[in-house]
Structure 1
């Protein structure tokens, strides 16, 4: 048996798979986010440990006794600050926290950051957060002995060791992404050095073994292998078998991601595409990331006093985009805008804009943001031959039909099952515990494929052009 733990923003999920990769148990524990100031987003790492304990206790004891390996997946970019005794110094600053926008701009103005990381320095990345702490909490900054990413704090609890892996480390802005190693120059620029960094392993490699006291406490075997694991999106890539060039998936979760695997390192920071290491040795991946996908739909559902599922179920067949346009920038945007200050908007509302029309506009707005990501990836030379849909939003055929039509690419939906970060982490646990390789990460069986609606292709092209014009028009408005 192999356990995958996925530390998300709203909860921690665990899945146990057997040697045939069938899911035999799963459990979740909720988490909440603190937003003490505008643009801030924090969590206490202590709550992650409580959630992990709850998940482990929820797994049947007979399965726990058979676990050979554990893999970790997690939300990226968070800053967990520890002193020399491994005490947490402050709440973790999360991926969707934008307080460090000025520091991000400062670092991004230094050419070596883009040159070495292969990426724009976004406010949500880890390095600008440490520079913010240095500027605004200087007394606390002097106490920082180690900086860990969220899932790697779980690893510290599991193994007692400070370890990170390549895919998550690539989102810190301290990694030389081509060389897959920490950059001394980039660390120095934020007042740190290698002593503050965890050691690095590949995602499919062993990072340590379970502490004996935890094995005794939870009834696991001694010497359980803890895999390097992956950042949440790279783990999802392992889960859905997106590990080779030409393969891609679109994730419609809280945020939206268009993820494409690459066999080589092909950065192009100017596109605002994320170019990160994959969870497998010698592999990289690119992502276009939007900050609000189902988050935008859920926001509108709250305004409409309805359930998101009810809003999308009665839409019927795909229709051409209407006059109402929605820009899903509820908390800023990454690809391709790189704008933490931009905010969302409805444009083109009329007297006959009812709830159905507004719902369609929200789905179309997120769809066009994903098309922006596709165009940004294409500008780097990345080609998508196969696109799979995952995440909660993939349950809406209307939404997937809109994405297929807007991108001009069929969208495949896996058979019922969980192929997300926890499943990918469990696959990485198999690799670490047995020495297996990428052959473990096979694509799932496909339940259906949604083709573009050819007669609406032109209408969606025009709708995207109107969307881009609206985005340009609101830039700079607050």
Structure 2
């Protein structure tokens, strides 16, 4: 390995900081993750100490360099990615003023409503491409202003989580377009801070960092960080990307027509777009892509793989015990009988709204439902219905994208759910398109490393980097069941509209009795 041919990707995630070292051929040379806690000091709150991110990042970098026996001069560049939307506040000396308010913090419902009333949904979509959601950054700034005025008075700089790690690595106050898109302060069309939103919320422009494109070198590792991490002083650090955009780069979703579906606890449908598109009702996220001059649309369902895990934990005790005795995976034991059930489960439908829903229904009161149960149905029917229901939910996002004129030529599946051949076939049949898997399984950190390679000029472009290292490992094509699902999907779609009023009434009843029990 010649000097300067390793690439380091750093993922400042929700549970830990991951350092991934690859070579210019895309081969993984080392990986290390250091975990840190999340704090919930009050209901709906989620916070982390930015110092924990830095300590974990330093440890992970040192571990990966030692394990791979890479020399500092062999690291050509560093790419950053991580959890989006978090609010990190610094004073003039660069000191953190309070714990980061994270992406999954839900305390800002009142501030979101106030911003929407002040600006108007139509102008929010025009200016930022997205509605204001509790996880986004702008309403958190207002919350601090209203609830922690002493902290608010000391604000000099606002950063996102990965950009705080950049600050500690380089001393530079810099972000990039994909992560900035999730702040509700960014003009996604123009790829610049939105003056109208800053004025509407009285957020000074000087609080916000410079913004670059994702593969552009933003700064260099400074001497203090070099001593802490073992990296070479002066090593370039590129802009990087938010976690979903970096994940898309890592799986080669950089051209319009290629869509990624990630089935983790949640489900994410991510589509690259050659032009700026906004869903008229704001039901899809519209963000800048990590590829210069391109955008992406994203739909999120809250309980994808999470629905199957709930089902396993609630109804799969027999399979869990058998799996432990035989040294097998309980999911395999659940899914094997489900593969023998006909598509459509003989009229059994499952609504996967176990945690409420985000796309296409931003409804915290939505609930999970098995609909159409008969005496004929077995446990295997229930299992398959969960897989089908999640797949229908993912199709909801894809249909919104198609309605905006987005081409869909191939869907690349990743995440734990994509390891199931049965689920991949159901996805292909429900979505009516080819499902592909790729050789990359390291997620966002891998994409960040590829962005670093572009910044270091080891690749001429993000697209060229993906073409060189990301390979298709398998495909699943739609089969005859596609016609069956075409008949059942409208029935699935009709259920939410029919049940939405009852979801709201049920929530009121549950809250009334829960409060009554609490008082007793």
> TM-score of the superposition, structure 1-length normalised?
0.92
Query: For 2:477, which of 451, 472, 478 is the aligned residue?
Result: 451
Alignment partners' CA distance in 2, 1:231 and 1:252: 18
The match for 1:70 is 78
The match for 2:198 is 187
In the alignment, does 2:467 pair up with 1:467? no
Matches within 5 A, 1:51-66: 51-61=56-66, 62-65=69-72, 66=74
Where 2:70 maps in the other structure, the secondary structure is helix
Query: For 1:426, which of 428, 440, 449 is the aligned residue?
Result: 449
The Cα of 1:335 is off from its aligned counterpart by 1.7
The Cα of 1:406 is off from its aligned counterpart by 0.9
In the alignment, does 2:83 pair up with 1:83? no
Q: 1:249 to 1:89 in 2, by over 3 A?
A: same
Alignment partners' CA distance in 1, 2:196 and 2:125: 12
Matches within 5 A, 1:67-466: 67-109=75-117, 110=120, 111-304=122-315, 305=317, 306=320, 309-310=331-332, 313-314=335-336, 315-316=338-339, 319-322=342-345, 323-348=347-372, 355-415=379-439, 417-434=440-457, 436-438=460-462, 439-442=464-467, 444-454=470-480, 456-466=481-491
Which has the larger share of helix?
Answer: 2
> TM-score of the superposition, structure 2-length normalised?
0.85
Alignment partners' CA distance in 2, 1:54 and 1:324: 50
Answer yes or no: is the 8 Å Cα contact 1:235–1:421 preserved in 2: yes
Report the number of matched residues.
476
Q: 1:159 to 1:249 in 2, by over 3 A?
A: same
Deviates more, 1:423-432 or 1:186-195: 186-195
Answer yes or no: is the 8 Å Cα contact 1:130–1:190 preserved in 2: no
Answer yes or no: is the 8 Å Cα contact 2:341–2:380 preserved in 1: no
Alignment partners' CA distance in 1, 2:330 and 2:87: 32
5+ long unaligned stretches in structure 1: none
User: Residues 120-165 of structure 1, C-alpha deviation per residue, up to 9 Å, x if partnerless?
Assistant: 2222221122223333333333333222111111111211221110
Alignment partners' CA distance in 2, 1:91 and 1:345: 38
Alignment partners' CA distance in 2, 1:40 and 1:470: 32
Alignment partners' CA distance in 2, 1:124 and 1:332: 15
Alignment partners' CA distance in 2, 1:208 and 1:56: 18
Where 2:456 maps in the other structure, the secondary structure is helix
Alignment partners' CA distance in 1, 2:366 and 2:141: 23
Answer yes or no: is the 8 Å Cα contact 2:216–2:238 preserved in 1: yes
The Cα of 1:293 is off from its aligned counterpart by 2.2
Alignment partners' CA distance in 2, 1:361 and 1:29: 37
Alignment partners' CA distance in 2, 1:464 and 1:24: 44
Deviates more, 1:3-12 or 1:400-409: 3-12
Q: What RMSD, in angstroms, separates the aligned Cα atoms of the two structures?
A: 2.3
5+ long unaligned stretches in structure 2: 1-5, 321-328, 508-520
Structure 1 segments (4+ residues) deviating >6 Å: none
Where 1:112 maps in the other structure, the secondary structure is helix
Q: 1:329 to 1:29 in 2, by over 3 A?
A: farther
Deviates more, 1:314-323 or 1:329-338: 314-323
The Cα of 1:403 is off from its aligned counterpart by 1.2
Deviates more, 1:391-400 or 1:42-51: 42-51
Answer yes or no: is the 8 Å Cα contact 1:248–1:384 preserved in 2: yes
Alignment partners' CA distance in 2, 1:95 and 1:85: 25
Deviates more, 1:419-428 or 1:127-136: 127-136
Alignment partners' CA distance in 2, 1:391 and 1:310: 16
User: Residues 78-120 of structure 1, C-alpha deviation per residue, up to 9 Å, x if partnerless?
Assistant: 2222233333333322223333233223323423321111122
Query: For 1:48, which of 50, 53, 58 is the aligned residue?
Result: 53
User: Residues 225-261 of structure 1, C-alpha deviation per residue, up to 9 Å, x if partnerless?
Assistant: 1110001111112112221211211111232111111
Q: 1:37 to 1:171 in 2, by over 3 A?
A: same
Where 2:408 maps in the other structure, the secondary structure is coil
Where 2:112 maps in the other structure, the secondary structure is helix
Where 1:9 maps in the other structure, the secondary structure is coil
Where 1:242 maps in the other structure, the secondary structure is coil
The match for 1:11 is 16
Q: 1:318 to 1:101 in 2, by over 3 A?
A: farther
Where 2:474 maps in the other structure, the secondary structure is strand
Answer yes or no: is the 8 Å Cα contact 1:107–1:113 preserved in 2: no
Answer yes or no: is the 8 Å Cα contact 1:301–1:311 preserved in 2: no
The Cα of 1:67 is off from its aligned counterpart by 1.1
Q: 1:271 to 1:63 in 2, by over 3 A?
A: same
